[in-house]
Structure 1
Amino acid sequence: MSKSLDRDSLQQVAPKLAELTQQVLFGDIWKRAVLSPRERSLITLATLSALGHEQQLPWHLEFAQQNGLSREELVELFTHQAFYAGWPAAVTALALLQQENN
């Protein structure tokens, strides 16, 4: 698996996408009051793992913990998700969570 682009490398590769990511995604969408950052992290992790977007999961796992989700809650998210998105998606996400905590 290749490494996901971070903010700096995205800026170098696609400056406009980096700008939109900062201004629209993190400057607006993530700050909207209807859902908390914690809830947005749950939705994001469930979506990324269900769609098999493994490259973005490590960053979002760390971000979710910054947004107040415990490791136990993340494990529960992926356990629950196994029944809706499939075992492979859940187990892949759990493996990445385990790597983040080692």
Structure 2
Amino acid sequence: MSTTLHRDTLAQLSPKLAELSQQVLFDDIWQRPQLSPRERSLITLAALTALGRTAQIPWHIDYARQNGVTDEEIAEAFTHLAFYAGWPAAVSALACLAEEKR
């Protein structure tokens, strides 16, 4: 059984990785004006799906919602990815969305 790490649990296990994630990834990369947070969320969900990183997908589904992406848009992105990332990857990502809706 895998555990999804979030900021608090990541900080407990690896304070430096949590610090770098916050400072570099979220306070710098996610704030760059060339892409909106909404676009970054869709790109991130696509990359995680294509790479099979399903443990990270639930957190990013929630973050995408905070960034204005609807569940319907997330489902459509995963459906679209079935043809580029593979059917199993898309179905696994959709399973994460279904789990998050419960």
Runs of 4+ in 1 over 4 A off after TM superposition: none
Question: Is 1:61 the counterpart of 2:61 in the alignment?
Answer: yes
Q: SS in structure 2 opposite 1:41? A: helix
**Matches of 1:8 and 1:78 in 2, distance apart?**
28
Residues 46-98 of structure 1 show CA distances to partners (whole Å, capped at 9, x for unaligned) of 00011111111000001101100111111110110000000000000111101
Counterparts of residues 1-102 of structure 1 (less than 5 Å):
1-102=1-102
The letter for the 2-side match of 1:86 is G
Query: Aligned partners of 2:3 and 2:41: how far apart in 1?
Result: 21
**What is the TM-score normalised by the length of structure 2?**
0.96
CA–CA separation in structure 2 for the residues paired with 1:77 and 1:13: 32
- In the alignment, structure 2 segments of 5+ residues that lack a partner are none
Separation in 2, partners of 1:78, 1:5: 22
CA distance in 2 between partners of 1:98 and 1:32 (Å): 31
Question: 19-28 vs 8-17, which deviates more?
Answer: 8-17
Tell me the CA shift for residue 8 of structure 1: 1.2
Amino acid at match of 2:13: V
- Percent identity, aligned pairs only, is 66
